[in-house]
């Protein structure tokens, strides 16, 4: 059975932490799925969230917009899945955002030799507000990541 598994470390060859001097939070989840798709194509599929995720983002944007934090209303030029493209290699795409309260990166890394797809998130808190903001976001983040990866597994299994 194909499942989403939590990893204890960021993939060794990942570029997700390039330019980050400090990581205050990170998580990595992995699925086993042979693919010939590029990391960018996979990211586009993974970050095409179900409607309930868009609803949560709408609520989040309504709240944080009043605090002067960035909100995501629609994709902008140079963005993949509502995030700004930071770096790209043959097997990985790194997206993210910098804000006054925290900076984050999210990576889709493809290890074709082992048929692994990794989804890694790293966060750096810039101030106390970043820690406070992330506290209620963290459980939703984990739920959303696992849900998006499960949808990726199911989509590819149903297409086969």
Domain boundaries, the chain: 5-154
Has residue 79 got a pLDDT over 50? Answer: no
pTM of the entire predicted model: 0.81
Banded model confidence at residue 154, pLDDT cuts 50, 70, 90: confident
Tell me: the pLDDT tens digits for 88-125? 998 999 999 998 889 999 999 999 999 999 999 999 99
% of the chain beyond a pLDDT of 70: 74
Has residue 13 got a pLDDT over 90? Answer: yes
More confident residue, 83 or 69: 83
Res 50: pLDDT: 58
Residue in this structure with the two tokens 């179900």, named with its chain if needed? 50
- 157 Rama class: left (phi>0) / alpha (psi -120 to 50) / beta: alpha
Report how far residue 5's alpha carbon sits from residue 3's, in angstroms, rounded to the nearest whole number.
6
Res 25: pLDDT: 97
Is the domain covering 5-154 a CATH 3.30.530 domain? yes
Report how far residue 14's alpha carbon sits from residue 43's, in angstroms, rounded to the nearest whole number.
15
Average pLDDT, the chain: 82
């Amino acid at each position: 059975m194909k499942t989403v598994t939590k990893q204890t470390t960021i993939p060794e060859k990942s570029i997700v932490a390039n330019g980050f001097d400090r990581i205050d939070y990170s998580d990595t989840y992995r699925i086993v799925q042979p693919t010939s798709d590029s990391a960018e194509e996979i990211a586009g599929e993974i970050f095409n969230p179900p409607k309930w995720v868009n609803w949560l983002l709408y609520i989040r944007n309504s709240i944080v917009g009043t605090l002067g934090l960035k909100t995501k209303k629609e994709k902008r030029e140079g963005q993949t899945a509502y995030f700004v493209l930071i770096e790209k290699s043959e097997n990985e795409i790194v997206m993210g955002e910098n804000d006054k309260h925290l900076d984050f990166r999210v990576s889709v890394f493809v290890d074709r030799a082992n048929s692994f797809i990794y989804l890694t998130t790293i966060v750096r808190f810039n101030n106390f507000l970043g820690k406070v903001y992330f506290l209620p976001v963290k459980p939703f983040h984990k739920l959303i990541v696992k849900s998006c990866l499960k949808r990726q597994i199911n989509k590819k299994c149903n297409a086969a």
